[in-house]
Amino acid sequence: MKRKIRVGSRESKLAVVQSEMIIQELKKLHPQLEIELVTMKTTGDKILDRSLDQIGGKGLFVKELDRALLDGEIDLAVHCLKDMPMETPEELPILAYSRREDPRDVLVPAKGKENWNGQGVIGCSSFRRRIQLQKLYPDAEVRGIRGNIQTRLQKLDSGQYDVLVLAAAGLKRLGLEERIERYFSPEEILPAAGQGILVVQGREEMRELVKELQPEEMEVIAENERAFVRRLDGGCSSPVAAYGRIQQDELVLTGLYYEEDTGNYVIATKRAEVRASAHLGWELADELRTKH
């Protein structure tokens, strides 16, 4: 009999597509395995009438899957890294980071409202995006929006918003790239830490099974982005952002720090050789906090 591995996922279409991407990669690496997808609705998917910071942050998207892992109902869970709490349970480590999809944020206009003029209502789910959009589009109103991508697009096309700002990665994975009107460079809107990266989480004994899913450079990028946010006590709903990339043999890390007292934010970049970059996220966070 084939050994069976159960992979847990949220029920949303995007979550299922992303989990199936990981499953296909695992099947190529381990054709002898039988791999089953197990979906479940999380608390974060059920409560849609309040913002995430009001109901406990994006950790609400993972706790049911954490419980299923601990109870042995599933063997692995697939998440978007940007939806992961900054602290993960010691008994449920992140086992592998995926190849990164496009990390940028994008502008999506309502059907029939292409070539948007910068006025009207922007639908946006995160404080991080909100504060950066207010500088880019001072004449627009930024209004909160919840729900999966399809729900948000329905709200957009029904006239509740003029445009949305979403992650490019999700739209591309769902085959909705044609809805994108504009890509924001990281200099215009700095992405959330981990944006575009999928993670496989599970018990330590599963690490060997999934280790080949991870490109060589992804761990140092992802962990420095998360270290920057963690150092500033930012959760995944916090107006803190970080984006790392490898240039030749250096890790280049850009971070955003929001000053609650003034309502302003600052962005800075720091670099280090990859082999000596273990503490780059912490160092950049400390520099920004000390200077500002």
CB atoms closer than 10 angstroms to residue 175: 8
What distance in Å separates the CA atoms of residue 241 and residue 206, rounded to the nearest whole number?
Answer: 30
Give residue for tokens 């929006």.
145
Query: Which residue, among 164, 180, 162, has the nearest Cα to 125 in the 3D structure?
Result: 164
Output the CA–CA distances (angstroms, integers) from residue 176 to 148, 173, 205, 225, 290, in the order listed.
13, 8, 37, 27, 42
Q: Which element (helix H / strand E) includes 121?
A: strand 120-123
8-state DSSP, 131:
H
Q: At residue 204, what are phi and psi to the nearest 5 degrees? A: -55, -35
At 23 the three-state DSSP class reads helix
Which tokens in the block code for residue 143? 């209004």
Cβ count within 10 A of residue 27: 14
126 contacts 253 by C-beta, under 8 angstroms = no
Residue 112, phi-psi category: left (phi > 0), alpha (psi -120 to 50), beta (remainder): left
Tell me which DSSP letter residue 190 carries. Answer: P
Is 83 an annotated catalytic residue? yes
Catalytic residue selected from 66, 83, 102, 162 = 83
Q: How far apart are CA 266 and CA 175, in angstroms?
A: 34
Q: Which residues are catalytic?
A: 83
